[in-house]
Structure 1
Amino acid sequence: MSATNVRLPSVLTPLPRPRSVLFAPGNRADLVAKLPRSGPDAVVIDLEDAIPAAPEAKAAARPVARDAARDLIVAAPHLSVFVRVNALHSPYFEDDLGVLTPELAGVVIPKLESAQDAEQVAAALQARGLNLPLLAGLETGAGVWNAREIMAHPAVAWAYFGAEDYTTDLGGARTPGGLEVLYARSQVALAARLCGVPALDIVVTALHDEAVFREDAGLGRALGYSGKLCIHPAQVALAHDIFGATPAQLARAEALLAAAHEAAARGHGAFSFEGQMVDEPMLAAARAVLAQRPESTQPEHP
């Protein structure tokens, strides 16, 4: 089956640019029920890393995760709910698919390594009558190397970079400065930009260190990531602060685009704003700022 055979309608991508995606273990219904409290843009019920890699533990988690996902969707219909299954080539993947339902916002697939992997996952979902978009995990050397072709697959709607698994795969070690993953982190962000896919940045394992999170998230935003994977509720507000637009930024973007609209109406192609000559990259940046405004429609400006 070619990579063009599995296509998903655009209505299946309700979460264009998440700022935060909060995880909870699939075997902890109590923690899943609490996920909406911190106000994340999306949540993931995890059957992979959060569950011990043992057949009996994986099997026990599946019915808990399925019921918890169903209850959460009913209790918080505004929230985008995902399930992360185990990797395609793991012994748990096929059975994990039984947890998925059409009401989910999508399915998180860890450790994708090629477009063929994405195609195989999409075909497996369709065989079960599920047209769920994929949040692709790029967290191995092969996954990073093939990031562009993976994200170009029509079933992939979002992606994330997993630094911990990537470093392990390469036989390296994580350091506080993160220099060992900077190349791969940048490659995933670049591939995401070229494919028009929002990319989510690496987790911060220092759960109670706000300064560390802010510094790491600031670098992720500077590299071009649209949001952050969060593994503690306290990280959600920090991610929104770093990856969301401030009221001042929104107001300035609105004013700039309004000035551009007025200049165009007068027949002026070039104009100045706040002492700067305006060009198309500035206008594109302003539109990108307004696109971060939650539950809003971008105004009709050029």
Structure 2
Amino acid sequence: MIRSLFFAPANRPDLVLKFPRFDADCCVIDLEDGTPPGEKLRAREMLHDTVAQVRAAGLHGLLMVRVNVPASPHYLADLQAAFMSDVDGVVIPKLESPEQAFPVVHWIAQRDAAAPRAQPRGIVGGIESVRGVLNAVALCERIAAMGAVYFGAEDYAADIGGRRTPRGDEVHAARSMVVMAAKAAGRIAIDQAVIDIRDDALFLEDAARGRDLGYEGKICVTPGQVKLAHQAFSPTAQERADAQRLVAAYEAAMAQGLGTIDFEGRMVDGPLLKRAQQILAVSVGAP
């Protein structure tokens, strides 16, 4: 479950060391956009110690490193630095073809063989360009180690030459294509960022639209957004209670040989049962 994907720049260990207090599901040390070009080498050299320090500080969620884009001269060096550290995997931004992930897959196989762990190392892929969106199905199907993807609306809009609006109708088609590709391949789908960091209402509205589409979490750029994402992507107490009653009623009906039931004024069959079961499954890890 990744309800929150929270970033901090790799050249700011002081900010990274605050990860444990924010309780994000997945924290990301960012060597890409968050680290200025002149600081990338130093940040990479500090990475092993930065990771060790944040682990020692008691981080409970996943810890990953976002490397620079595959076409970048930093890409391979970033991967080496990341996998020489105690991370749960890497975030690859602006993925456009499965082949771009081959070096990461190699590193994961090598590190998992040398230092096995209960949870294998993995990949979060960023789908945030026109080509990436058009290739989303292939990316999700062919990169086996990629357990999750996120949709990057800002980079996508810049790539296609569109104008961003608060409601986001201009990215709706691409946003939908990414979540469909992820779900078809059994991957976690993480929704776009809201860069207006002072507008909590906008964040919650956008998160609600993402959840309605099928997204399971959201990119977060502030600690406050982490809390909002957990609120938005965790079932409410009412949703949990409704789901429990529905599952119980359906199981009782099935025991009597009934395939559909009238549950509190609604006709319920297999698809609605599946949705209720999904809510209860998420509730296991939700507050």
TM-score for both structures, normalised by structure 2: 0.90
Alpha-carbon distance in structure 1 between the residues aligned to 2:167 and 2:272: 32
Q: Which amino acid counterpart does residue 254 of structure 1 have in structure 2?
A: Q
The alignment status of 1:46 with 2:25, answered yes or no, reads no
Match of 1:26 among 10, 24, 39: 10
**Residues 105-144 of structure 1: pairs in structure 2 closer than 5 A:** 105-126=88-109, 132-144=121-133
**Residues 219-230 of structure 1: pairs in structure 2 closer than 5 A:** 219-230=209-220
The alignment status of 1:156 with 2:140, answered yes or no, reads no
Greater share of helix: 2
The residue matched to 1:203 in structure 2 has which SS? Answer: coil
Alpha-carbon distance in structure 2 between the residues aligned to 1:87 and 1:283: 41
The offset of 1:123, in angstroms, is 2.6
**Residues 196-275 of structure 1: pairs in structure 2 closer than 5 A:** 196-275=186-265
The offset of 1:281, in angstroms, is 0.8
Q: Deviations over 1:28-75 (max 9, x none)?
A: 111111122222111111100001124xx1101113333222222233
* Structure 2 residue aligned with 1:87: 69
The offset of 1:222, in angstroms, is 1.6
Q: Deviations over 1:175-209 (max 9, x none)?
A: 33322211111110111111111111111111111
Mark the CA change 1:120 to 1:290 in structure 2 (over 3 Å): closer, same or farther: same
The residue matched to 2:124 in structure 1 has which SS? Answer: strand
Alpha-carbon distance in structure 2 between the residues aligned to 1:252 and 1:34: 37
Which stretch has the larger CA shift, 87-96 or 125-134? 125-134
What percentage of aligned pairs have identical amino acids?
A: 44
Alpha-carbon distance in structure 1 between the residues aligned to 2:262 and 2:175: 36
Alpha-carbon distance in structure 1 between the residues aligned to 2:110 and 2:157: 34
Which stretch has the larger CA shift, 203-212 or 163-172? 163-172
Q: Which amino acid counterpart does residue 91 of structure 2 have in structure 1?
A: V
Q: Deviations over 1:70-114 (max 9, x none)?
A: 222233252211111111111101111232247422210001101
Contact 2:4 2:218 (8 Å CA) reproduced:
yes
Q: Deviations over 1:110-131 (max 9, x none)?
A: 0110122223431354456676
The offset of 1:234, in angstroms, is 0.4
Q: Which amino acid counterpart does residue 62 of structure 2 have in structure 1?
A: S
Alpha-carbon distance in structure 2 between the residues aligned to 1:241 and 1:231: 16
Mark the CA change 1:240 to 1:129 in structure 2 (over 3 Å): closer, same or farther: closer
The offset of 1:145, in angstroms, is 0.4
The alignment status of 1:58 with 2:46, answered yes or no, reads no
The alignment status of 1:75 with 2:57, answered yes or no, reads yes
Contact 1:86 1:93 (8 Å CA) reproduced:
yes
Give the alignment's Cα RMSD to 1 decimal.
1.9
Alpha-carbon distance in structure 1 between the residues aligned to 2:236 and 2:14: 33
Alpha-carbon distance in structure 1 between the residues aligned to 2:58 and 2:238: 30
Contact 2:47 2:82 (8 Å CA) reproduced:
no
Alpha-carbon distance in structure 1 between the residues aligned to 2:280 and 2:9: 34
Alpha-carbon distance in structure 2 between the residues aligned to 1:121 and 1:111: 14
Structure 1 unaligned regions, length at least 5: 1-16, 297-302
The offset of 1:133, in angstroms, is 1.2
* Structure 2 residue aligned with 1:8: none
The residue matched to 1:261 in structure 2 has which SS? Answer: helix
Which stretch has the larger CA shift, 280-289 or 212-221? 212-221
Mark the CA change 1:176 to 1:268 in structure 2 (over 3 Å): closer, same or farther: closer
TM-score for both structures, normalised by structure 1: 0.86
Q: Which amino acid counterpart does residue 144 of structure 1 have in structure 2?
A: V
